[in-house]
Amino acid sequence: MIRLSENLGLRADAVRNRDVLLQAATRAFASADAEPSMRAIAREAGVGIATLYRHFPTRESLVDAVYRDQVDRLTRGADQLLAEHPPADALRLWMDLFGDWLVTKHGMVDTLREMIDAGSLAHVETRDQLLDAVTTILDAGRDAGDLRADVRADDVAAALIGVFTVVGSAAREGQGARLLDLLMDGLRPHRAPSAPSD
């Protein structure tokens, strides 16, 4: 008979294994040119294929879990960044998180498309979550006088998708970073030039 403490230990191991698998899958999807195999993901996690299938019986269940985990990180990230930075700085840092999320999607895009087409992924709900995260930062920025009041979350999202489509995974460096900084300049309130002093 398994004692309660042993059962809790087994559950803790299962949670730990699931987290390790999610992290490994995220890395594999982010670095792959094509969708990695389930076996490659298990190898990346340092577990057997049976352990992977015990937690994620299908590729779709794994993609869904990684996708939702990344969206949760993005939505939580907005609040965390706002707690630690002025709104404009928080938004610029959030843009980097958004870029990481887009890069992760690269290695699972075919499965995501199939899931969206089949209606098994709440794509609209996810979009709304992300727009709510941007709105939270924009509202804080408007209240602080840090960001323009006329900017909408969907405008920011469209601009970010455009930047990351052009520069890909290198958006934190070189041209990508410059484009994000230019976007941020456009999101700040316009200040009238000061009058020249006599």
CA 190 → CA 53, 98, 101, distances in Å? 54, 25, 30
Domains of the chain are: 1-57 (1.10.10), 59-189 (1.10.357.10)
CA 143 from centre of chain: 25
pLDDT of 170 higher than 70? no
pLDDT tens readout for residues 27-66: 888 887 778 899 999 999 998 999 999 999 999 999 889 8
Is-contact 105 121, C-beta < 8 A? no
* Distance of alpha carbon 27 from alpha carbon 25, whole angstroms: 5
C-alpha 177/C-alpha 170 separation (Å) is 8
pLDDT interval class at 191 (50, 70, 90): low
Cβ contact 93:137 at 8 Å:
no
CB count within 10 Å of CB 76 equals 12
Task: Compute the distance between CA of residue 175 and CA of residue 157 in angstroms, rounded to an integer.
Answer: 19
pLDDT at 8 over 50: no
Is 123 a residue whose pLDDT tops 70?
no
User: What's this model's pTM, rounded to 2 decimal places?
Assistant: 0.75
